[in-house]
Homo-oligomer: A and B are copies of this chain.
């Protein structure tokens, strides 16, 4: 391909609304172009990179006999109403009515459509297992689309769905997909981690995420310093390396004391001369998905003053569809009689949950449920009844790794894949059954598996770039070789370029030729920005000496090669 005919325009300036490196570089290199916030046109290079990833996925899935189909972008409301996700998805689902008043949404995921697809035909246990996938456009109305393809409204996803006779078989399918994903991501050559994850509002109780590691990643991951353990911070168990012990062994007499104006743990810590981690804070959450009624379902959560509540853990504990919501100050006041900074577990009439971090606390300090007063020498059991000991706090760097090996360390990740064991959430709602060996109707066990295709391409750039531009990993590079053709009007030079181009293409190598009328400096800068793995510079002086220069984009190493050897040498370098 020749630049002069490619409709490719690079930008020197950093685009104003791009925050992270990959977004800036994709815009500057002409990979993508914004149509409106969260919606982009993929230029030919981004599309080629995406297609390379798609081919890798298809190859790996074909090995396992997966079936590829194509479901629609536009879904009828009725299917989403069957699972209640028409309501649950809220404003994130883009909806419209057509000229006849029929309601539709744009597919954000395809569980409903695929379940509908299989339920009509799938009759018997003999038809199982089956795993079906597609690569299709999805749409989610992100509140704040940002980071280019990373968190866009419209995006390309590979989504797969497994159907099995029972939980064990479903977990086999899950493992098969886990392995296929691993093979696919391994082929990209990226630094990635597989982490335990939350299922969100997709349903089910087992799920893992595939994260490309990058400092700008939106997700916080907890990984072990000594093992393969990794979990999204949202779900990482919190385990103290050493027990935090406070308050001696004897239960002392409960005592109220004034704490005028002390509403924060920091202030209380200073005033009482007690480390924050030895104070107990009380937080109030509502544990219901029903946000339409005014009837709350409040609970109190007590944890150490320096810990933070993890609303995802509360959600999972209660089997909610969405993270538990913090009560408003007004709601707290109605329950406790006091403002949030002065509340505690003593004398309130709602279920009280204690975080495991408080197991070794005695005679501790809590709010008195009376503004500007606290209680000291508070003891569980004696002064109030707790409902349950729970792990409701965020894990922190330095906590014990849940697998017992090493400590937790935080890294940032970009979620590019997510696999879920769904169970029967969708088959139950949509009556998708099969007849088992005994002729009895059973619900199909399902799993679903997603990969953000465009997002993965961008994550590769986020992980692999330098100050000059993109450094494409070979597996995704739109082109393998970038020829800087310094003298397009010189017939001899042009002949050399054509020979090298044809020779490399003959070896299955994708070649891009910069044949524009531009100064060498401009061409080199653009080649660095676009970042294909190898650059070959062909100019008048070199050609008269029988030489061209090969430049390795990642290492920035240069070497001169005889023209006669360049095709075989580059072929060997790239096809290893």
Using a CB–CB cutoff of 8 Å, the interface residues on chain A facing chain B are 2, 5-7, 9, 30, 33, 35-36, 39-44, 46-47, 50, 65, 67-76, 78-79, 91-92, 94-96, 98-99, 102, 104, 106, 113, 116-118, 120-122, 127, 130, 132, 137, 139, 141, 143, 153-154
Contact = CB atoms under 8 A, between A and B. Distances in A.
Given A41-B117, A132-B7, A35 B72 contact: yes
Contacts of A76: 35-36, 39
A35 B75 contact: yes
Contacts of A106: 73-74, 106
Contacts of A117: 33, 41
B35 A141 contact: no
Nearest to A4: B126
Contacts of A95: 96
Contacts of A139: 73-74
A7 B121 contact: yes
Given A5-B130, A98-B141, A35 B70 contact: no
Given A47-B68, A95-B96, 6 more contacts: A5-B67, A42-B70, A73-B73, A73-B154, A94-B96, A98-B153
Contacts of A30: 121
A41 B159 CA distance: 14
Nearest to A106: B74
Contacts of A102: 36
Nearest to A144: B100
B5 A41 contact: no
Q: Nearest 8 A-B pairs (CB), nearest first? A: A96-B96, A36-B76, A9-B121, A91-B99, A42-B70, A7-B130, A98-B141, A41-B71
Contacts of A67: 5-7, 44
A113 B41 contact: yes
A137 B65 contact: no
A96 B139 CA distance: 13
A65 B5 contact: yes
Contacts of A121: 7, 9, 30
Contacts of A39: 72, 74-76
30 contacts: A5-B65, A6-B67, A7-B122, A7-B127, A7-B130, A7-B132, A35-B71, A35-B75, A35-B79, A35-B113, A35-B116, A36-B78, A36-B102, A36-B104, A39-B76, A40-B72, A41-B69, A41-B71, A41-B72, A44-B68, A44-B69, A47-B70, A50-B70, A73-B73, A73-B106, A73-B154, A91-B99, A94-B98, A94-B104, A137-B137
